[in-house]
Amino acid sequence: MRLLRNPLAQFLGAGILIIVVAMLAVLRLSDTAAQEEAIDDAVATTELLAESVAEPAIPRGLVDGDPGAIDRFDRAVSERLLVGDVQRIKIWNKDGRIVYSDETELINQTFAFGGEELAVLTAGGHDAEQSDLAKPENQFERSSGGLLEVYTRIWSPEGVPLLFEVYYSAEDIEDRKARVFSAFRPITLGGMTALVVAAVPLLWVLTRRLDRTARDRERLLRSAVDASLAERRRIARDLHDTVVQDLAGTAFALSASARDGGAARDELDRMGRSVRSSLRSLRSLLVEILPPNLATSGLHAALEDLVATAANRGVIVEVEADDLEGVDNNTAGLVWRVAQEAVRNTLRHAEAEHLHVRVTTAGPTVLLEVIDDGRGFDPNEAGDRTHFGLRGMESLIHDAGGHLEVTSAPGQGTRVRLQLEAR
Amino acid sequence: MEHSRYRLAVATFATLAFVVAGTSASVANDDDVVVDGNCSKRAEYQLKASPEDGRLEIEGEVDSNRVGQTWRWKLWHNGSLTGKGTRRTKGDSGSFEVRRVIVDMAGTDWSTFKARNIRSGEICRGVVGY
């Protein structure tokens, strides 16, 4: 079953099937071509025998059944008419009487004419058909394997039209069919087999490549699922460590104030700050979960939301952002994602005191800089995972024709610089 | 088989007829019919019909015992001229022989052979039925 799903096995099966079908088609075409060729040859031979041998030798009296005329004609031409694969000769008059045949018992016997024979006898020309050996006029041909009969019109010296009929062996058609088929065979069978043989290694390589790609895609999907799960955990953890804690504290304080008969003014002010801080954390989290619509809310507002939690961590943040009007959504989205990743790295790992996010435009060029004064890191250190997300974006940035530069050193802070050409 | 019996009956009838007329008929082989007799003067003739591949072979022979005589001959098939020619006697026996194949028609085929010595006018005439 697994073998049947293999593309290579499927190709080989289809290839063999096509070859078989093609061979059958060629056999059929050979049959038709050979039959047509044999009929054409038989017609040409009949016309030649009629014009060159039979008609000039017909003596007066033959049409009337004169025995002497029949003898003379028989002696003169019977051997010259029975050439090649000619099996029988019959000469008919318009009444259906055989005035001469090499089978002498047929002479002077009368049989019913068919429409085709009468048409040729009347209008001339020729016709050819497979002999019906059940007909009484073919009683002496029944032992043969099959005959092709061709007839044409000739004239007696008295000016009487006669039907000159020649019977050919059908074995000749079989021989011709075999010859035509053998002529086509190297082209069809050989060519198609060569094509299949040539395609098999190519398909094998492609199949392996497809398998490898499928495995890579599966691994990527699994990584995406893992990353999604990790992100949900991180969000849950962030909510638990910040907003939930702050709101819980505020709730306890409010309950305590209610018990004590009302809160002091400074106490209420502190609880208000706590709720606003929680609100900022929630908004920051929201923009992380769902990227903002930069076209409607603007990049500056989005960046402000992004760094909203920085104050809670004691980081002084400065955001500068030019209006990205005229910049396409993809470019703006990429600027946002790089900024998000860089800010996230600073807030989580840098232990910075200052964070500066700046987006400037100069003509079609969009420049993003995220600079902190944190502890920095060694960019050449293979085990460093703090900027793994940015590295993952490098291919996207490269595809967009942009350039990303991360400059850092231990104790020297970090500078992330993205340059993109707006389209 | 019916056909052979019929032909044998015809050959028997022909033999009886030619015995009465001064000629004799005999069956050389099973399938051959032979007629011989005297010509109008000193020569003798023999006429033989034998089947050959769906046809009949007719052989006419004139024996005059004189070498170098010229004879005109004719052969009729059911009364229709099927062959004619001129021959000279030769060999020790002073004879000539003609041979023609005729079509074996339905029914009895009557072959009439006639030869005439150009100089003496002697006539040989025989009929064979097959």
In B, which residues are within 8 Å of A69 by CB distance? 80
pLDDT at A139 over 90: no
Average the pLDDT over each of A73-87, A240-254, A372-386, B76-90 and give the range with the smallest value. Answer: A372-386
Which tens digit of pLDDT belongs to each residue from A183-230? Answer: 777 777 788 788 888 888 888 898 889 889 999 999 999 988 888 888
Residues of A with CB under 8 A from a CB of B: 61, 66-72, 74-75, 103-105, 107-108
Residue A154: name the closest of A53, A55, A45 by CA. A55
- In terms of average pLDDT, the best of A170-174, A251-255, B105-109 is B105-109
Which tens digit of pLDDT belongs to each residue from A9-23? Answer: 888 888 888 888 888
- SS3 label, residue A52: helix
Element (DSSP H or E) covering residue B1: none
Residue A31: name the closest of A145, A184, A230 by CA. A184
Q: Please check whether residue B35 is in contact with residue B128, taking contact to mean a CB–CB distance below 8 angstroms.
A: yes
Q: Among A61, A72, A104, select the one facing B104 at the smallest CB separation.
A: A104
- Residue B86's contacts (CB-CB under 8 Å, 6 or more residues apart) are B70, B71, B72, B73, B118
Residue B17: predicted pLDDT? 46
Residue B37: predicted pLDDT? 95
Q: Does B82 touch chain A (CB under 8 A)?
A: yes
> Rounded to an integer, what distance in angstroms lies between the CA atom of residue A339 and that of residue A417?
10
Q: Does B129 touch chain A (CB under 8 A)?
A: no
Give the mean model confidence (pLDDT) for residues A70-91. 90
> Rounded to an integer, what distance in angstroms lies between the CA atom of residue B127 and that of residue B113?
6
What ipTM did this prediction achieve?
Answer: 0.79
- Residue A247's contacts (CB-CB under 8 Å, 6 or more residues apart) are A275, A278
> Rounded to an integer, what distance in angstroms lies between the CA atom of residue B48 and that of residue B126?
10
- What domains appear along chain A, each with residue ranges and CATH number? 7-179 (3.30.450.20), 295-421 (3.30.565.10)
Residues 6-45 of B with CB under 8 A from A: none
Q: Among A66, A71, A105, select the one facing B102 at the smallest CB separation.
A: A71
The predicted model scores a pTM of 0.54
Contact (CB<8Å) B54/A105: yes
Tokens describing residue A175: 């021989």
Residue A147: name the closest of A89, A78, A79 by CA. A89
- Residue A332's contacts (CB-CB under 8 Å, 6 or more residues apart) are A294, A295, A299, A324
Residue B3: predicted pLDDT? 44
Residue A321: name the closest of A338, A298, A305, A340 by CA. A298
Contact (CB<8Å) A74/B104: no
Strand ranges of the sheet holding A354-362, from the earlier edge strand across to the other edge:
A316-321, A354-362, A365-372, A414-421, A403-408
- Residue B66's contacts (CB-CB under 8 Å, 6 or more residues apart) are B89, B94
Give the mean model confidence (pLDDT) for residues A308-329. 83
Average the pLDDT over each of A101-105, A147-151, B24-28 and give the range with the smallest value. Answer: B24-28
In B, which residues are within 8 Å of A104 by CB distance? 54-55, 103-105
Which tens digit of pLDDT belongs to each residue from A234-276? Answer: 788 878 887 888 888 888 888 888 888 776 788 888 888 888 8
Work out whether the CA dihedral A138, A141, A145, A150 comes out positive or negative.
negative
The residue in chain B having the minimum alpha-carbon distance to the alpha carbon of residue A64 is B80
